């Protein structure tokens, strides 16, 4: 192998490939300045703390689980704040609001931020609950309007045919008996009881994919003693329960007797059919006609169209309320998005500080925390400056004691990097 000239050569200096000399240091930190000290050292990034377990007689963390350590409560609190922030992020993603990358300083401390996040979560949860309730009511009213429209058309056509048949029958009675005169009179058709059979009915919507099975089960369960009419809804409707668009059919089932009604109700529940009230007698629809009377027309009043008009008015009011709630919710999410990154950074930093504090040990007086860690030798002055600033900012009467320990342990490595080598060092730190 050829020798490299002392004045230069093709290879870079060896300090790019070798770790900086490391030292094991010990810190005795007053309890009142411990949080700020760890925070400043974390910002500096030149000290790797050790979890001082089973290394000294005064260690109180020995054989303790993470939930039994000194700052477990604070870590749990930070975890709860992180959960609230994740909830906010999910809500922003659903609303299409992206967090803004803001590098500004957060004026709130962790206590004020905890209170603020709790208030925002309560407000946002209440708004979501109210919005879901209003949206479900709106979807139910949309379905109710479809039932009134489709079933109303059926009842209206049936009523027209009945009136026409009644007029034809009366005209035949006035003209005398003929070949078309019924052989049995109305009294004879009623039978021995003398009372007509009163039919009840149920109206609602059923998913179109289940409509045929729904009809077959109704026929078999009642032994054919029902009359079912279905009308196809052209456009998909939003199901009030699932919130998804579903193709449905409007149905009207006529039955006789309470036993048949009970069977039909159970079948409707089994097939997920939504039932809606439908006025059986015209007299019960008087309250629905009030809105129509305010704007009278020359044509004859149709009670089913009056019901649709009333439902349309309620739909319009609900739509206005839902839009106003959505606007308010959007503005709240915009406010959260403007400060989300700052809040998230503060919570993550606070949780990291308390995780590091849990690696330290209390001394016998419980007034100081004892820490050990590895640092490059060249960073001694920077670490001491950070410790001094933390003591001053914490108004601590006693500063942190910094001392170097002699050890034969294998130290970790630390490489100084530049713009070129930092990316490669990041790969090594991630994958080893």
> Does 161 lie in the same domain as 261?
yes
> Does 287 lie in the same domain as 208?
yes
Q: Would you say residue 390 lies in a domain?
A: yes
How many other CB atoms are there within 10 angstroms of residue 157's CB atom? Answer: 10
> Does 229 lie in the same domain as 150?
yes
Mean pLDDT of the 266-283 span: 80
Number of domains in the chain: 2
* Residue that finishes a domain, picked among 282, 303, 324: 303
Which CATH number fits the domain that encloses residue 210? 3.30.70.2750
- Note the pLDDT tens digit of each residue in 4-63: 444 444 455 556 678 889 999 999 999 999 999 999 999 999 999 998 754 544 444 555
Q: Would you say residue 258 lies in a domain?
A: yes
> Does 367 lie in the same domain as 281?
no
> Does 150 lie in the same domain as 288?
yes
> Does 264 lie in the same domain as 161?
yes
Q: Would you say residue 53 lies in a domain?
A: yes
Q: Would you say residue 274 lies in a domain?
A: yes
- Kindly tell me the burial class for residue 95, based on how many C-beta atoms sit within 10 Å of its own C-beta (0-12, 13-18, 19 or more): middle
Query: Which position has the token pair 């035949």?
Result: 172
> Does 233 lie in the same domain as 155?
yes
* Residue that finishes a domain, picked among 283, 303, 323: 303
Domain range holding 162? 146-173+198-303
> Does 208 lie in the same domain as 287?
yes
- Note the pLDDT tens digit of each residue in 88-119: 999 999 998 888 876 666 677 899 999 999 99
Higher-confidence position of 281 and 4: 281
Q: Would you say residue 31 lies in a domain?
A: yes
pLDDT, residue 147, reads 86
How many other CB atoms are there within 10 angstroms of residue 141's CB atom? Answer: 19
Query: Which position has the token pair 């039955």?
Result: 255
Question: pTM here?
Answer: 0.72
For the CA atoms of the chain, what is the radius of gyration? 40
- Which residues in 184-216 are b (16+ Cβ under 10 Å) and which e? eeeeeeeeeeeeeeeeebbbbbbbbebbeebbe
Q: Would you say residue 340 lies in a domain?
A: no
In the predicted structure, residue 2 carries a pLDDT above the cut 50: no
> Does 265 lie in the same domain as 158?
yes
- Picking from 296, 297, 248, the residue whose alpha carbon sits closest to that of residue 276 is 248
pLDDT band, very low/low/confident/very high, at 285 (cuts 50, 70, 90): very low
Higher-confidence position of 154 and 5: 154
Q: Would you say residue 190 lies in a domain?
A: no
> Does 207 lie in the same domain as 298?
yes
Which CATH number fits the domain that encloses residue 408? 3.30.70.260
> Does 373 lie in the same domain as 286?
no
* Residue that finishes a domain, picked among 286, 303, 320: 303
Taking CA 137 as the corner, what is the angle to CA 136 and CA 140, rounded to the nearest 5 degrees?
85
Q: Would you say residue 23 lies in a domain?
A: yes
The average confidence (pLDDT) of the chain is 81
The rounded distance, in Å, linking the Cα atoms of 144 and 142 is 5
> Does 376 lie in the same domain as 287?
no
């Amino acid at each position: 192998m050829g020798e490299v000239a002392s004045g230069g050569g093709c290879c870079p200096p060896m300090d790019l490939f070798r770790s900086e000399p490391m030292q094991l240091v010990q810190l005795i930190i007053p309890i009142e300045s411990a949080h700020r000290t760890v925070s400043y050292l974390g910002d500096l990034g030149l000290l790797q703390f050790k979890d001082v377990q089973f290394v000294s007689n005064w260690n109180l963390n020995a054989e303790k689980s993470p939930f039994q350590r000194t700052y477990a409560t604070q870590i749990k609190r930070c975890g709860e704040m992180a959960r609230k922030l994740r909830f906010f992020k999910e809500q922003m993603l659903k609303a299409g609001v992206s967090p803004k990358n803001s590098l500004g300083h957060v004026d709130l401390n962790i206590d004020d931020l905890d209170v603020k996040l709790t208030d925002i979560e309560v407000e946002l949860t209440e708004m979501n609950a109210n919005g879901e309730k209003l949206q479900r009511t709106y979807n139910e009213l949309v379905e109710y309007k479809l039932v009134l429209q489709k079933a109303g058309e059926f009842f209206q056509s049936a009523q027209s045919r009945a009136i026409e048949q009644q007029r034809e029958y009366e005209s035949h009675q006035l003209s005398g008996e003929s070949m078309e005169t019924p052989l049995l009179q109305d009294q004879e058709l009623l039978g021995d009881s003398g009372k007509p059979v009163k039919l009840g009915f149920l109206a609602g919507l059923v998913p179109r994919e289940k409509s045929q099975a729904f009809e077959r089960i109704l026929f078999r369960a009642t032994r054919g003693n029902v009359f079912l009419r279905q009308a196809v809804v052209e456009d998909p409707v939003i199901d009030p329960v699932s919130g998804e668009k579903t193709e449905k059919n409007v149905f009207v089932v006529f039955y006789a007797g309470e036993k048949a009604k009970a069977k039909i109700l159970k079948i409707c529940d089994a097939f997920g059919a939504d039932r809606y009230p439908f006025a059986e007698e015209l007299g019960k629809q008087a309250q629905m006609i009030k809105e129509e009377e305010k704007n009278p027309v020359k044509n004859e009043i149709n009670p089913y169209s009056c019901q649709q008009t009333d439902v349309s008015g309620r739909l319009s009011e609900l739509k206005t309320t839902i839009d106003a709630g959505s606007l308010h919710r959007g503005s709240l999410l915009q406010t959260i998005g403007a400060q989300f990154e700052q809040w998230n950074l503060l919570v993550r930093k606070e949780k990291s500080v308390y995780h590091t504090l849990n690696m330290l040990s209390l001394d016998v007086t419980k007034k100081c925390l004892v820490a050990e860690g590895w640092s490059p030798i060249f960073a001694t002055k920077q670490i001491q400056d950070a410790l001094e600033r933390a003591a001053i900012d914490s108004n601590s009467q006693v500063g942190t004691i910094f001392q170097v320990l002699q050890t034969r342990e294998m130290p970790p490595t630390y490489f100084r990097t530049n713009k070129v080598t930092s990316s490669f060092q990041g790969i090594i730190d991630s994958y080893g």
